[in-house]
């Protein structure tokens, strides 16, 4: 059964004469438990599609259903609640909050829940341990390496136990060893039932995923042709 | 982890910005409180003068010179052209006691030299004087012949104590007591009885001024003015009118300056927070992406500024309240007492919180309204 159903999604950027159609008639189904790679050349529209799937960027046309909920029929605030409940994001530049420690960054999604502080800490510590950073919980982001920051970002994305993880070029700025460790972590999470959609342009990453879809000039290419 | 924790950590770890905003709140609050405290102190001082003299009446010689200050009031006097009230004035006053006069306190006032310094000596009838001024407290006893009581400042400056002696005009005078500090001009003079003052000032048969305590001061002034054309008869309230005007002007200035400061404070906070919102757009984008609602973002910014405003206004209030007693004498050449001003404290803190909310409202609303598309662009 599909967890994500995308139907006829178009995205036009700009206005007037200066418009660019970034996505053209995208149709896509993602089943629960898939580890999906979204590949394509720069400017092909893969990050835009990811942001649309993540409820961050309304499409110009078409619908996005996640768990049978029409994401863009929700108000902006309900969509925020929806993201909080359903989606964990791992951004390309990690985007940790610079003035919060690793532990506090991981706890961030819990700050708007009613979970008591003690439980929040315990849970965040457990998740940090799971990503191998139990001993670095008190460090600020600028005291962590790129790989460690990435792991903190992953811990932050899963603390709330969402069914979906969207990762935008998560290995983009990592060396191959750290990138492998990260993909192993993603694979473990996927085996534990999480659905993961990862934007990447690195062919090596595709060995780790269960399905690859390719996007070029705003259209999905079937069968996928990896650039 | 709560929104307050996030706000606190941001303030704690962005020290430069936090210090700047905190300094703004402290400075604005301190200056406003200081100005208001000074205004209240000056008004209280004037009120004290009024209370001290109540509805009293002062009779002084008619003179163009205003060289002598006593009791916080300018008294015509002694510097160039010494004019005095002759004995007939006191007789006329005594005969007209029916116009509501309760107490008469004639004085002999003059300048004497002591150790190359000029001192003001005031000869009074202590019995009638203490009736009018029950707040005069003497450490020691009332002076008899050839004895004096020193004002607090005079005693301090000349290391006088009850029992010590002063050589005045070649004669030795015993210090019978020291008058406790009043905060008024009493602190700067020496008191003695009238016969001794006459000897010291070589004024054998006239009076420098007469203070009256009257039940109907206006009537007393009218009546005595007719009877004493050579004297100036005034209700004290007339004399303090000028001072009241000065105090009123200072109060208005303090109010105006406070309003300007508040506006400047609002602008500084608004501009700083607006710049801060722009710098924090990626961070706001992350918050929005992970599910923070508008109200959460708004709450974060409000918490940060309210925490700063609260701590800044409390510190500013304390600084502003202690500044007049510490530094007031440098500007106003008079001592100020420390007052807690609980009303002013509440007003300062309340107004600071309100104005901080006003200053942060627009930038915080902008931050909260950063929709996910914009947030995404920042990420």
Interface test with A, best of B9, B289, B292, B373 (most A CBs within 10 A): B289
Query: Lowest-pLDDT range, B6-10, B17-21, B81-85?
Result: B81-85
B285 Cβ under 8 Å from any chain A Cβ? yes
Residue B202 confidence (pLDDT): 85
| CA-based nearest distance B365→chain A, Å | 15
C-alpha A120/C-alpha A114 separation (Å) is 10
Residue A3 zone, left/alpha/beta (φ > 0; ψ -120 to 50; rest):
alpha
Cα separation of B58 and B55, whole Å?
A: 10
| Contacting residues of A for B369, CB less than 8 Å apart | none
Rounded to an integer, what distance in angstroms lies between the CA atom of residue A89 and that of residue A147?
16
B372 and A56 within 8 Å at the Cβ level: the answer is: yes
Instruction: Report how far residue A5's alpha carbon sits from residue A31's, in angstroms, rounded to the nearest whole number.
Output: 9
Number of H helices, E strands in chain A: 6, 10
The whole-angstrom separation of Cα A188 and Cα A191 is 5
Helix H, strand E, coil C: the string for A30-68 is EECCCEEEEECCCCCCHHHHHHHHCCCCCCCEEEEEECC
- Is pLDDT above 90 for B135? no
**Looking at the predicted structure, is the pLDDT value of residue B76 above 80?**
no
Q: Which residues of A touch B3 (CB under 8 A)?
A: 111-112
Q: Which of B63, B77, B66, B81 is nearest to B108 (CA)?
A: B77
Task: Give the C-alpha separation, A206 to A224, whole Å.
Answer: 12
Give the pLDDT score at A91: 85
Query: In Å, how far is A9's CA from the nearest CA of chain B?
Result: 16
3-state SS assignment for residue B218: helix
Cβ neighbours of residue B222 closer than 8 Å, sequence gap 6 or more: none
pLDDT at A224 over 80: no
Q: How far is A218 from chain B (nearest CA, A)?
A: 18
Strand pairing report for A35-39 and B209-214: unpaired
Length of chain A in terms of residues written: 227
Q: How far apart are CA A131 and CA A111, in angstroms?
A: 21
Q: Is the full-model pTM beyond 0.90?
A: no
Percent of chain B with pLDDT over 70: 87
Partners of residue B165 on adjacent β-strands: B174
Quick one: average pLDDT of A85-92? 90
Among A76, A83, A100, the residue with its CB nearest the CB of B290 is A83
End-to-end CA distance of chain B: 23
Q: In chain A, which among 28-67 make CB contacts under 8 A with chain B? A: 51, 54-58
Residues facing B148 on adjacent strands: B175, B192
ipTM computed for the complex: 0.89
Q: What is the pLDDT of residue B99?
A: 67
A93 at B interface, C-beta within 8 A? yes
Is B1 in contact with A107 (Cβ distance < 8 A)?
Answer: yes
The whole-number pLDDT of residue A70 equals 95
Interatomic CA distance for residues B104 and B95, integer angstroms:
12
DSSP string spanning B61-91?
E--S---EEETTEEE--SSSS---EEHHHHH
**B14 touching A, CB under 8 A?**
yes
Pick from A166, A57, A70: nearest CA to B375: A57
Across-strand partners of B121?
Answer: B110, B190
Residue B83 has pLDDT above 90, yes or no: no
Is the confidence at residue B78, as pLDDT, over 50? no
pLDDT tens-digit series, residues B38-67 = 888 777 776 666 555 544 788 988 865 544
What pLDDT is recorded for position B6? Answer: 93
DSSP structural state of residue A161: -
What is the predicted pLDDT for the residue at B77?
A: 44
**Is A114 in the B-facing interface, judged by CB distances under 8 Å?**
no
Burial string for B100-117 (b: 16+ CB within 10 Å, else e) reads: bbebbbbbbbbbbebeee
For residues B175 and B160, is the Cβ–Cβ distance under 8 A? yes
Q: Find the closest chain A residue to B375 by CA distance.
A: A56
In chain B, which residues have their Cβ closer than 8 Å to the Cβ of A91?
Answer: 286, 289, 379
Predicted confidence band at A222 (pLDDT cuts at 50, 70, 90)? low
B286 touches chain A (CB under 8 A): yes
Provide CB contacts within 8 A for B202, sequence distance 6+.
B110
Residue B140 sits at the vertex; the CA angle it makes with B139 and B142, to the nearest 5 degrees, is 110
Cβ atoms of residues A45 and A214 within 8 Å: no
Q: What is the pLDDT of residue B70?
A: 56
Q: How confident is the model at residue B239 (pLDDT cuts 50, 70, 90)?
A: low
3-state secondary structure of B376: helix
Rounded to whole angstroms, the Cα distance separating A110 from B292 reads: 10
Q: Which of B296, B295, B305, B320 is nearest to B266 (CA)?
A: B305
Which of A29, A71, A47, A30 has the alpha carbon at shortest distance from A215? Answer: A47
In chain B, residues with a C-beta closer than 8 Å to the C-beta of A110 are 1
Distance of CA B1 to the CA centre of its chain: 48
Report the Cα B66 to chain-centroid distance in Å.
24
Enumerate the residues of chain B whose CB falls inside 8 A of the CB of residue A97: 6, 283, 286
Contact check, Cβ <8 Å, A104/B14: no
* Band (B359; pLDDT cuts 50, 70, 90): confident
pLDDT top residue among B277 and A110? A110
Q: Is the dihedral of CA B72, B74, B77, B80 positive or negative?
A: positive
Given a contact cutoff of 8 angstroms between Cβ atoms, the answer to whether B188 and B73 are in contact is no
Residue B149 scores a pLDDT above 90: yes
Tell me which residue in A83, A107, A140 faces B291 most closely, judged by beta carbons.
Answer: A83
pLDDT for position B81: 52
CB atoms within 10 A of CB A219: 15
Q: Whole-angstrom Cα distance, residue B195 to residue B144?
A: 9
Strands B117-124, B101-114: parallel, antiparallel or unpaired by DSSP? antiparallel
């Amino acid at each position: 059964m599909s967890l994500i159903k995308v139907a006829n999604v178009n995205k036009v950027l700009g206005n007037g004469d200066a418009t660019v159609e970034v996505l053209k008639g995208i149709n896509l189904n993602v089943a629960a438990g898939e580890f999906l790679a979204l590949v394509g050349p720069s400017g092909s529209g893969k990050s835009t599609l990811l942001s649309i799937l993540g409820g961050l960027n309304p499409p110009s046309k078409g619908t996005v259903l996640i768990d049978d909920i029409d994401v863009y029929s929700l108000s902006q605030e309900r969509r925020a609640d929806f993201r909080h409940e359903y989606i964990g994001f791992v951004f390309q530049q990690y985007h940790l909050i610079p003035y919060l420690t690793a532990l506090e960054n991981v706890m961030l999604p819990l700050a708007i829940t009613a979970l008591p502080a003690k439980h929040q800490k315990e849970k965040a510590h457990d998740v940090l341990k799971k990503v191998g950073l139990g001993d670095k919980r008190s460090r600020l982001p600028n005291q962590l390496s790129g790989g460690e920051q990435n792991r903190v970002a992953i811990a932050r994305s899963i603390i709330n136990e969402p069914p979906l993880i969207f990762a935008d070029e998560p290995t983009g700025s990592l060396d191959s060893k750290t990138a492998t460790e990260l993909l192993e972590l993603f694979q473990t999470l996927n085996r534990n039932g999480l659905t993961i959609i990862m934007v990447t342009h690195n062919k090596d990453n595709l060995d780790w995923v269960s399905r690859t879809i390719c996007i070029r000039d705003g259209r999905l290419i079937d069968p996928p042709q990896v650039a | 982890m709560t929104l307050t924790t996030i706000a606190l950590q941001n303030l704690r770890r962005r020290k430069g910005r936090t210090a700047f905003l905190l300094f703004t709140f402290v400075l604005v609050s301190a200056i406003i409180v200081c100005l208001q405290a000074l205004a209240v102190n000056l008004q209280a001082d004037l009120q004290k003068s009024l209370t001290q003299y109540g509805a009293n009446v002062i009779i002084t010689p008619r003179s163009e010179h205003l060289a002598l200050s006593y009791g916080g009031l300018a008294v015509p006097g002694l510097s160039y052209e010494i004019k005095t009230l002759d004995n007939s004035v006191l007789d006329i006053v005594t005969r007209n006691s029916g116009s509501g006069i309760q107490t008469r306190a004639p004085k002999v006032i003059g300048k004497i030299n002591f150790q190359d310094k000029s001192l003001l000596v005031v000869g009074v009838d202590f019995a009638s004087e203490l009736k009018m001024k029950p707040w005069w407290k003497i450490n020691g006893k009332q002076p008899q012949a050839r004895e004096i009581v020193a004002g607090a400042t005079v005693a301090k400056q000349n290391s006088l104590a009850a029992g010590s002696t002063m050589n005045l005009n070649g004669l030795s005078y015993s210090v019978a007591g020291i008058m406790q500090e009043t905060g008024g001009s009493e602190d700067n003079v020496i008191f003695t009885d009238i016969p001794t003052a006459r000897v010291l000032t070589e004024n054998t048969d006239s009076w420098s001024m007469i203070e009256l305590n009257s039940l109907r001061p206006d009537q007393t002034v009218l009546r005595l003015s007719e009877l004493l054309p050579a004297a100036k008869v005034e209700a004290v309230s007339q004399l303090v009118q000028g001072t009241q005007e000065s105090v009123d002007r200072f109060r208005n200035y303090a109010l105006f300056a406070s309003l300007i400061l508040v506006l400047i404070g609002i602008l500084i906070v608004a501009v700083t927070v607006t710049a801060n919102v722009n710098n924090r757009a990626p961070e706001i984008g992350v918050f929005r992406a992970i599910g923070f609602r508008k109200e959460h973002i708004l709450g974060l910014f409000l918490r940060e500024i309210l925490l700063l405003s609260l701590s800044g206004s409390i510190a500013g209030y304390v600084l502003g309240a202690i500044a007049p007693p510490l530094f007031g004498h440098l500007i106003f050449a008079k001592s100020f007492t420390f007052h807690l001003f609980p009303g002013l404290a509440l007003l300062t803190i309340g107004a600071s919180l309100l104005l901080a909310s006003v200053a942060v409202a627009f930038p915080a609303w902008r931050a909260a309204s950063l929709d996910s598309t914009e947030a995404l662009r920042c990420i």
